Amino acid sequence: MAGFEKLTWLNVPAAIEARPEGLLVRTGDRTDFWRGTFYDFWRDSGHFGYVTVEGDFSVEVTVDGRYETLYDQAGLMIRLGESHWVKAGTEYTDGEICLSVVVTNDNSDWSVQRLAVPATGLRLRLTKHREAVRVQYLREEDQQWQMIRLAYLPPASKADVGLMCCSPERKGFEVLFRDFKVGPAIDRRLHD
């Protein structure tokens, strides 16, 4: 469970429970991170447990949620402030659990794709290289990291980084976070 005890929370969840296998989090009512695009609302009520990091870095976590309601979501977030952030992870949409990435630079955009791997115990990684954020997940069948997004965030000397979960349509979404770690940025090479 190393690392969880050092988190600071933006919007403390309804419940946080340290367990031998990880950190169990239960969401509050109608929580989300979103800015304007398409839906015309601005929300900054999602749960974000973070540490502040200087320079470039990689962050990883394994997420396993009890997805039941539209937009239940959990994963990782890099945040420079209320109007500049990236959240990436798993999200329940259109009746299935998908990979989801929202990039916000004043306004939010959203990309979503079907999972090519089982949703239980999905390993995620975000890497910040100056102004670029690389979003990846680990394919269990071959233990290879698969890139799903390369996104822009304004250059910054510091960033808040950590766990994110939201439940825009309900309260009580439960997610278990395991093996959270933050360290030096992986190599900039995108292709082997």
The answer to whether residue 192 is domain-embedded is: no
pLDDT digits (tens, 9 = 90+) for 170-188: 999 999 999 999 999 999 9
**Residue 150, strand partner residues:** 134
In this prediction, residue 174 carries a pLDDT of 97
The answer to whether residue 188 is domain-embedded is: no
The answer to whether residue 52 is domain-embedded is: yes
Output the domain CATH number for residue 178: 2.60.120.200
Beta strands in the chain (DSSP E): 8-10, 15-19, 22-26, 33-35, 42-44, 47-54, 57-65, 73-81, 84-93, 96-105, 107-114, 122-129, 132-139, 144-152, 158-166, 174-183
Contact (Cβ atoms closer than 8 angstroms) between residue 102 and residue 108:
yes
Total count of domains within the chain: 1
- The pTM of this model reads 0.95
The answer to whether residue 105 is domain-embedded is: yes
The answer to whether residue 190 is domain-embedded is: no
pLDDT digits (tens, 9 = 90+) for 135-150: 999 987 788 999 999 9
- What token pair was written down for 126? 């975000």
Under the banding of pLDDT at 50, 70 and 90, the label for residue 2 is very low
DSSP helix/strand/coil, 109 = strand
The answer to whether residue 191 is domain-embedded is: no
Cα 73 from Cα 70, distance rounded (Å): 9
